Structure 1
Amino acid sequence: MSSQDTEVLVVGAGQAGVAMSEHLSANSIPHLVLERDRIAERWRSERWDSLVANGPAWHDRFPHLEFSDLNPDAFAPKERVADYFVAYAQKFNAPIKSGVEVTSVEKNEGGAGFRVQTTDGTINARYVVAATGPFQKPIIPPLIPQDSQLQQMHSSSYRNPQQLPEGAVLVVGAGSSGVQIADELQKSGHQVYLAVGPHDRPPRKYRDRDFVWWLGVLGLWEAAAPPVGAEHVTIAVTGAHGGHTVDFRNLAASGITLLGRANSFDNGTVHFAPDLATNIANGDANYLSLLDEADAYIARNGLDLPEEPEARTLGPDPESVTNPILELNLADAGITSVIWATGFGVDYEWLKVNAFDSDGKPKHHRGVSTEPGVYFLGLPWQSHRGSSFIWGVWHDAKYLTDHIRIQRGYLTYETEDAVLNQAAGTPGTSPSSEQAAPAPQNVDALRG
């Protein structure tokens, strides 16, 4: 096993790790990126076959490379997104080492930095950036026993309808993943039941502009925190089939049975909360609110964008909303499989530092953790609403790089006397490895 030193170790080479490496490279900060699989592996092997990006190609990208082979308003397929990050890393020769897993990170007791154990040896690093993102550990609520006769899987394990046995499917969760998977399964011939929880439901496009454009010009991407009580609200939006607004009434009209939140299970029966109508109504309110803000912005700025009055027309509530199903015997309904589109948790067992709360969640401010020298990147709402999106993580990486650059400036500080003594060759005044930069560079670093 080898041993090496690096100033910054970045763990993970997905969108967060590649962004961090670009900024570190631009600032000539020595670093190494470790990836246990391939660059952007989760896009390739941990998503369903037909997945596309949720944002258009002109928006869901880094600043210095476009999707040159796609229409700017198209939605990139998942393999194309993964290839994009590979190409981006090659643009600046990112020092990425694939096939190496980090098994532990611990402070160097009595010394600076951290001792990192990997499957390829030991690394000593002054700074560590956990760029493993928010999609680390699939969450399956302990609702239906795993030893039941049902096939159960998380959305991250779903690939295509052919995976599932014949019979009806219960999809739990109605964010982007849940609604797209439910729609695909229904179109493939499965009877689908979809449990719908609280959600935001933006228009895919309104008055000739995608919703990502509206969030930008309205300043909504810059929100620093979700509204109180909406910390875990999902976004029902899709880029599938060229992109369209998610409308649960249309899903119901296609044959999907809508349900409220799944609450409990006993004797083969799932019990659902009586909240379906409320969840649909709140999603509608979110949708209409964005239309109102968009109309006001157009009027205020005198923009010539086509009117779209039909966008405000909401159809009648389906039977499943007006007469909700509160309990469902899975066998009687012919349900043979359950897909849990219930999100992810974080997994930082390898990061053995004082940077987590009692629930194991990172303690940080804009990615700067409570453990000096440790940083997080790619977290939802890390600094604003866009933090876990492709373009947002790039800007968060710049902020962390600036923080590291400033800290390096402090560490290379020397007094004027020390610099003069070194220049004169005074014995005993040679700088340590932490004091290798001359004073003028130190001043520049601290000034930014």
Structure 2
Amino acid sequence: MADETIEVLVIGAGQAGIAAAEHLGAAGIPYLVLERARIAERWRSARWDSLVANGPAWHDRFPNMAFPHRGPDAFVPKEEVADYFEAYAKQIDANLRCGVEVQAVRRNPEGPGFIAQTSQGRIATRAIIVATGAFQTPVHPALIPAQPGLTQLHSSAYRNPAQLAPGAVLVVGCGSSGTQIADELQRAGRQVYLSVGAHDRPPRRYRGRDFCWWLGVLNKWDAEAPPSTAHVTIAVSGARGGETVDFRRLAQRGITLLGLTEAHADGKLRFADNLKQTLDKGDANYLALLAEADAYIARNHLDLPPEEDAKIIPPDPDCVTHPIRELDLAEAGITSIIWATGFRADYSWLQLDSFNANGTPNHARGVAAEPGLYFLGLPWQSRRGSSFIWGVWHDAKFVTDHIAKQRAYLAYEGMALPALNG
């Protein structure tokens, strides 16, 4: 027996959950959003202190509200991003309940839909939108055993340089988080080693336009991922007004670049012999986007200033021409390792048959194989932009429209059958 009933239950009040609330409310569909902590909690408590959004304020927002205290080209600090979603929830008068954890979801054995067991009772619902996002459980490789004098933490637990003991720092992972953290630590006077894997490296700006604008006009935000596409991390930064990430220039400033972290034994880490090839592939990605931008400008006769200096790739630093294949952590003075190695989803509480063999949701554009179950905020859910602030808003509209269509079918009661001729 459920304690309450709601037509649609949304789980999570981050950007995905708030987007779902807006579209459900506009469609007149009764809903409730549950959040175990605060609105946009991960922006507040699972990011480092100096983090800003990686896209400019004109782009990384919902369509119906601008950031109140920042210009359109600003990169908004994380606390203001969280405040933005709180204000947005108030603007749309979201039906939202914080401090409630969803512990389990099962099919309703006594009727249609589902039963959600929460920390405050049982809720019956016809449809569920899982808006918990893709960044749930930190991935922390069990490569190096715990040992005295060596702190290991995931990037989601890093806050600032003063948090770490004196000594050198190894950052493993070269996406936006790993690169920005390594840069911050080096600027704070730390000796920093950065383990670099496969990545895309777009320009922050080119010929007077931001990277987000270029992906838009080149129709790359709407690119659909083929089934075989593996995730490739993107190295881009909004720090200090937005910067193009160039690993060779980071090395020139004093960061020691390393190849992909492969193994550990006897206090020593081994790295793949692929650093130059990895950097070259990142450069090729960077230069390809510049070439596409140039072609777009020429084809459309745009008056945007040339920027030939952007195409100059710096010479390889010594750590690239003579790569370190093995590093003794103690001899290098490394006292901290930050694992910027991403996240994995945790759906153990979702006790439904709607997952592939690898544990990922079985869905099409957020519509799960399990009738009445939906997902929001997944990477490449419908397109490249799906896990970004603006992209999830559009995915939420698609999911809400699907719920509305199913709702219309369920409202049909059937027509009267004609009498049989006897």
Where on the TM-score scale, by shorter chain, does this alignment land: which range?
over 0.9
Q: Distance in 1 between matches of 2:329 and 2:40?
A: 37
Which residue of the partner structure matches residue 211 of structure 2?
Answer: 211
How far is 1:414 from its partner? 2.2
Deviations 1:202-232 (A, max 9, x none): 000000000100000001111110695x522
Structure 2 residue 157 is matched with structure 1 residue 137 = no
Q: Distance in 2 between matches of 1:349 and 1:117?
A: 13
Which residue of the partner structure matches residue 98 of structure 1?
Answer: 98
Q: Distance in 1 between matches of 2:288 and 2:225?
A: 18
CA contact (8 A) 2:2 2:115 kept: no
Q: Secondary structure at the match of 2:34?
A: strand
**Structure 1 segment 336-375 matched on structure 2, within 5 A:** 336-375=335-374
Q: Secondary structure at the match of 1:287?
A: helix
Counterpart residue type for residue 254 of structure 1: R
CA contact (8 A) 1:226 1:385 kept: no
How far is 1:147 from its partner? 4.1
How far is 1:359 from its partner? 2.1
Q: Secondary structure at the match of 2:336?
A: strand
**Structure 1 segment 73-222 matched on structure 2, within 5 A:** 73-147=73-147, 149-222=149-222
Distance 1:307-1:205 versus aligned 2 partners, 3 A rule: same
Which residue of the partner structure matches residue 261 of structure 1?
Answer: 260
Which residue of the partner structure matches residue 237 of structure 1?
Answer: 236
Which residue of the partner structure matches residue 35 of structure 2?
Answer: 35
How far is 1:2 from its partner? 8.0
Q: Distance in 2 between matches of 1:134 and 1:47?
A: 15
Deviations 1:50-90 (A, max 9, x none): 00000000000000000132110110000000000001111
Counterpart residue type for residue 169 of structure 1: V
How far is 1:201 from its partner? 0.2
Which residue of the partner structure matches residue 376 of structure 1?
Answer: 375
CA contact (8 A) 1:39 1:98 kept: yes
Which residue of the partner structure matches residue 435 of structure 1?
Answer: none
Q: Distance in 2 between matches of 1:157 and 1:2?
A: 37
Which residue of the partner structure matches residue 11 of structure 1?
Answer: 11
Deviations 1:96-147 (A, max 9, x none): 1000000000001252010110001110000011100000000011211134
**Structure 1 segment 262-411 matched on structure 2, within 5 A:** 262-411=261-410
Q: Secondary structure at the match of 1:72?
A: coil
Counterpart residue type for residue 214 of structure 1: W
Which residue of the partner structure matches residue 426 of structure 1?
Answer: none
Counterpart residue type for residue 356 of structure 1: F
Moved over 2 A (4+): 146-149, 414-418
Q: Distance in 1 between matches of 2:226 and 2:402?
A: 25
Deviations 1:376-396 (A, max 9, x none): 100000000000000000000
Please, which runs of 5 or more residues in structure 2 have no aligned partner? none
Greater radius of gyration (CA):
1
Q: Distance in 2 between matches of 1:227 and 1:247?
A: 30
Structure 2 residue 66 is matched with structure 1 residue 66 = yes
Counterpart residue type for residue 15 of structure 1: Q
Counterpart residue type for residue 365 of structure 2: R
Structure 2 residue 38 is matched with structure 1 residue 22 = no
Q: Distance in 1 between matches of 2:140 and 2:129?
A: 28
Of residues 68-77 and 169-178 in structure 1, the stretch that sits farther from structure 2 once superposed is 68-77
Distance 1:286-1:226 versus aligned 2 partners, 3 A rule: farther
Q: Secondary structure at the match of 1:314?
A: coil
Which residue of the partner structure matches residue 249 of structure 2?
Answer: 250
Q: Distance in 2 between matches of 1:14 and 1:347?
A: 16
Counterpart residue type for residue 233 of structure 1: V
Q: Secondary structure at the match of 2:156?
A: coil
Q: Distance in 2 between matches of 1:69 and 1:156?
A: 26
CA contact (8 A) 1:202 1:290 kept: yes
How far is 1:150 from its partner? 1.2
Q: Distance in 1 between matches of 2:248 and 2:353?
A: 48
CA contact (8 A) 2:23 2:400 kept: yes
Deviations 1:335-390 (A, max 9, x none): 00100000000001111001112222111111111111111100000000000000
Deviations 1:384-410 (A, max 9, x none): 000000000000000000010000011
How far is 1:318 from its partner? 0.6
CA contact (8 A) 2:195 2:259 kept: yes
Q: Secondary structure at the match of 1:177?
A: helix
Counterpart residue type for residue 31 of structure 2: H
Counterpart residue type for residue 98 of structure 2: S
Q: Secondary structure at the match of 2:382?
A: coil
How far is 1:149 from its partner? 3.8
TM-score, normalised via structure 2 length:
0.97
Q: Distance in 2 between matches of 1:333 and 1:304?
A: 51
Counterpart residue type for residue 289 of structure 2: L
Overall identity of the aligned pairs, in %: 64
Q: Distance in 1 between matches of 2:227 and 2:394?
A: 22
Q: Distance in 2 between matches of 1:232 and 1:409?
A: 37
Distance 1:390-1:226 versus aligned 2 partners, 3 A rule: farther
CA contact (8 A) 2:2 2:124 kept: no
